[in-house]
């Protein structure tokens, strides 16, 4: 963090006050590096690892410069455009932007597919200052005549390298070609490669480049471990790790694997939700709401979530399936140790994956500690995920008579649903594991990463040994470990 305050970097008082109310008083390195130039109106190319604070690095200048220009948004013509690769990331950006925009009298609108377009069309028709969008839906609305980019004063491209990975660059180029050539452009990315260089040369004018921290330099507070185990030990180990206090994100290589593993964790009393491309937008929003609030303590995801989610206080990231390449490893791992918090990253490795994992970690620039274990009774599990093991029961979503709300923001709301729990009771333990009520070196109040600030469901989960006790009705009858494989990556 910088010793200087946001105000000393030129951030308007009204915006620095909003940040201070949220406990944010000093810029991160990427913010400190880019803010002077972006606030001055220059084109900026910023590289920083995931979790480094890039979002406020571009939101602050977007809001400040729109306020300074003093124009009024015209119907169908936003004044600022922020492009992001996934719906989840669009939602996260909007969440960070909302208080800044409200304090400055600016309107915002999210635009993405998977939901009805009517609320988006109506908002654009009324006039909106800032649009945060995924490229595909925005192009659709432009082609239908609902939106024009002729008035865009400042354009932001977030997670540019992920845009390239997903094949979105042709659409991004078409959209940026429609913005005024004299407008300001800010491009942020975790890595810079040839695909990104094409965008820089085509759209940025005399850009200032800032590389506050490399994507290949692991966070100092993040520890990396590899657990060498037999294939049939993976599920018991995952149940043990996810039964510890705190939020956990588990990555699988396939959609099928994510769905299957989430189901198996729930069968063993771990409240888990899934996130992958086969889910409807309503289901994705519902599952992320449950994870944010703490009702679900584990998120099982494919790489769609490696950049698409920003959840504070994720204490543990587990690669149940090692990713195919090192950039995915780094971005997956970036879900923990955010904003200076501590976190651990664990990769499960079977005998046939030894060479792949060795090559992967070498390319990522890390030297993990490798431990051979023989199941869920190994003491290293308690070291990596300290605290009392607790399996409060599965999370089950039930639709009420009312359909998912037609949200004015075009996103599904969790209202109109009733949630209940079934499965293992609060005293259930993973097979072969006896929970302990105390642990050495644990953070205060028994939560890994201290992550109990969001959601009423976690209120009781940070006392004593830090056992998880999300709210919700539980019933007995949890089933034991399933022998079925959760991965289809072979």
Whether residue 46 is predicted with pLDDT greater than 50 in this model: the reply is yes
Summarised one tens digit per residue, pLDDT across range 244-285 is 988 899 999 899 999 999 999 999 999 999 988 888 878 888
Give percent of the chain above pLDDT 70.
73
**213, 237, 267 — which closes off a domain?**
213
Residue that wins the pLDDT comparison between 197 and 357: 357
Whether residue 146 is predicted with pLDDT greater than 90 in this model: the reply is yes
Does 164 lie in the same domain as 19? yes
Query: Within a domain: residue 427?
Result: yes
Whether residue 342 is predicted with pLDDT greater than 80 in this model: the reply is no
Does 136 lie in the same domain as 41? yes
Does 203 lie in the same domain as 243? no
Query: Within a domain: residue 469?
Result: no
> Which pLDDT belongs to residue 41?
94
Mean pLDDT of 429-452: 36
Whether residue 353 is predicted with pLDDT greater than 80 in this model: the reply is yes
Model-wide pTM > 0.85: no
> Which pLDDT belongs to residue 367?
87
> Which pLDDT belongs to residue 49?
65
> Which pLDDT belongs to residue 484?
38
> Which pLDDT belongs to residue 174?
95
Average per-residue pLDDT for the chain: 78
Summarised one tens digit per residue, pLDDT across range 88-122 is 889 889 999 999 999 999 999 999 998 899 999 99
Does 278 lie in the same domain as 191? no
The maximal CA–CA distance of the chain, rounded, in angstroms, is 65
Query: Within a domain: residue 484?
Result: no
Does 375 lie in the same domain as 241? yes
Cα separation, 271 vs 458, in Å, equals 12
Does 323 lie in the same domain as 266? yes
Query: Within a domain: residue 93?
Result: yes
DSSP 19: H
To the nearest 10°, the Cα dihedral for 103, 98, 142, 161? Answer: 120
Q: Give the range of the structural domain holding residue 378, as residue numbers without chain letter.
A: 222-462
Does 226 lie in the same domain as 209? no
Does 263 lie in the same domain as 149? no
**171, 187, 213 — which closes off a domain?**
213
Does 352 lie in the same domain as 269? yes
Quote the number of domains for the chain.
2
The pLDDT confidence band at residue 435, using thresholds 50, 70 and 90, is: very low
The pLDDT confidence band at residue 310, using thresholds 50, 70 and 90, is: low
> Which pLDDT belongs to residue 68?
94
CATH number at residue 50: 3.40.50.300
Query: Within a domain: residue 199?
Result: yes
DSSP 370: E
**178, 213, 248 — which closes off a domain?**
213
> Which pLDDT belongs to residue 125?
96
Cα separation, 30 vs 52, in Å, equals 7
Query: Within a domain: residue 483?
Result: no
Query: Within a domain: residue 342?
Result: yes
Does 293 lie in the same domain as 196? no
The pLDDT confidence band at residue 442, using thresholds 50, 70 and 90, is: very low
Answer yes or no: are the C-beta atoms of 448 and 390 closer than 8 Å: no
Mean pLDDT of 463-467: 35
Which residues, 6+ apart, have CB-to-CB distance to 395 below 8 Å?
Answer: 266, 271, 272, 273, 290, 295, 296, 419, 421, 472
Answer yes or no: are the C-beta atoms of 243 and 389 closer than 8 Å: yes
Does 128 lie in the same domain as 240? no
Query: Within a domain: residue 333?
Result: yes
Does 144 lie in the same domain as 120? yes
């Amino acid at each position: 963090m910088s010793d200087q305050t946001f105000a000393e970097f030129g951030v308007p008082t009204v915006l620095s006050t909003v940040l201070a109310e949220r406990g944010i008083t000093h810029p991160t390195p990427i913010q400190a590096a880019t803010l002077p130039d972006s606030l001055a109106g220059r084109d900026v190319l910023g590289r920083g690892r995931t979790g480094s604070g890039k979002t406020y690095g571009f939101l602050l200048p977007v809001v400040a410069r729109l306020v300074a220009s003093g124009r009024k948004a015209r119907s169908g013509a936003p004044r600022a455009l922020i492009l992001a690769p996934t719906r989840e990331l669009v939602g996260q950006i909007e969440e960070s932007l909302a208080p800044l925009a409200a304090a400055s009298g600016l309107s915002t609108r999210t635009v993405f597919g998977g939901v009805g377009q009517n609320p988006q069309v109506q908002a654009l028709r009324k006039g909106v200052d800032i649009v945060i969008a995924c490229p595909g839906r925005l192009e659709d609305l432009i082609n239908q005549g609902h939106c024009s980019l002729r008035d865009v004063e400042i354009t932001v491209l977030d997670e540019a390298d992920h845009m390239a990975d997903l094949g979105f660059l042709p659409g991004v180029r078409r959209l940026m070609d429609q913005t005024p050539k004299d407008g300001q452009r800010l491009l942020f990315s975790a890595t810079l490669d040839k695909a990104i260089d094409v965008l820089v040369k085509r759209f940025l004018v005399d850009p200032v480049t800032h590389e506050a921290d490399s994507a290949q330099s692991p966070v100092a507070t993040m520890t990396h471990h590899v657990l060498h185990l037999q294939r049939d030990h993976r599920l018991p180990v995952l149940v043990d790790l996810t039964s510890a206090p705190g939020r956990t994100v588990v990555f699988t290589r396939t959609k099928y694997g994510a769905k299957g593993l989430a189901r198996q964790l729930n069968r063993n009393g771990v409240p888990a939700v899934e996130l992958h491309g086969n889910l409807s937008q309503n289901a994705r929003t519902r599952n992320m709401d449950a994870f944010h609030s703490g009702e679900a303590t584990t998120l099982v995801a494919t790489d769609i979530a490696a950049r698409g989610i920003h959840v504070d206080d994720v204490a543990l990231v587990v690669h149940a399936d090692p990713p195919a390449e090192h950039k995915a490893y780094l971005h997956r791992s970036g879900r923990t140790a955010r904003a200076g918090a501590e976190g651990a990253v664990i990769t499960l490795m079977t005998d046939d994956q030894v060479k792949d994992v060795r090559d992967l970690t070498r390319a990522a620039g890390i030297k993990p500690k490798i431990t051979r274990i023989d199941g869920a009774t190994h003491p290293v599990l308690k070291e990596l995920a300290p605290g009392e093991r607790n399996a409060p029961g599965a999370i089950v979503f039930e639709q009420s008579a009312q359909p998912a709300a037609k949200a004015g923001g075009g996103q599904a709301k969790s209202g109109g649903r009733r949630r209940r729990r079934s499965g293992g009771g609060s005293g259930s333990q993973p097979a072969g594991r006896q929970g302990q009520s105390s642990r050495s070196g644990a953070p205060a109040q028994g939560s890994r990463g201290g992550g109990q600030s969001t959601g009423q469901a976690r209120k009781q989960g940070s006392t004593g040994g830090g056992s998880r006790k999300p709210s919700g009705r539980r019933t007995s009858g949890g089933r034991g470990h399933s022998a079925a494989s959760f991965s289809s990556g072979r």
